[in-house]
Homo-oligomer: A and B are copies of this chain.
Amino acid sequence: MNNFQGNPAFVAYAVACLVLCANLIFLWAFSGATRGKTRTAINAEDAARFGGTLVEVDPPEVARVLRAHANAQASIYPFLFLGLVFVLLGGGAGFAETIFGIFTVARLAHSYVYLKGRQPWRSIFFIIGGLATIALMLDIIWLLVRT
């Protein structure tokens, strides 16, 4: 009754959601930690309270982490909405485990190589995540038209 604990596709979703949200939260916290290491502050009250130089533009190190975070947000949130729709439409556990697994690993790798500045790996992992998202969308369409 109203409980998806025994639904293996939902369990796959829950695990992917946990890891992907941890990825997002880490990047956001890391942008703050990186800002601290550059001894800069973007808000006057932060410079006054915690010290550091007040700046109007993020230092390059901080801007990189924020770009990695922006890319993660733009990729992960749509996937998490679509993944939930897939599971609630009764999508299969095997497909869910495969696609959620590929997407999650690709996004973790994308964040890592973005922070490290490694190309062409960043593009490759972004594209793998994108292809997994497209596969998920096609399967949702299939589930909808099959009805």
A contact set with B: CB distance below 8 Å: 2-7, 10-11, 13-15, 17-18, 21-22, 24-25, 28-29, 42-46, 48-50, 56, 60, 64, 67, 69, 73-75, 77-78, 80-82, 84-85, 88-90, 117-120, 122, 130, 133, 137, 140-141, 143-144, 147
Contacts and interface: CB of A to CB of B under 8 A. Distances in A.
Contact of A14 (B50, B75, B144): B144
A interface, over-half SS: helix
Task: Report copies per complex.
Answer: 3
A124 to B, nearest CB: 11
Contacts of A29: 130
A143 B24 CA distance: 22
A50 B137 contact: no
Given A25-B130, A43-B64, A130-B25, A82 B18 contact: yes
B144 A90 contact: no
A81 B21 contact: yes
Nearest to A9: B2
B5 A137 contact: no
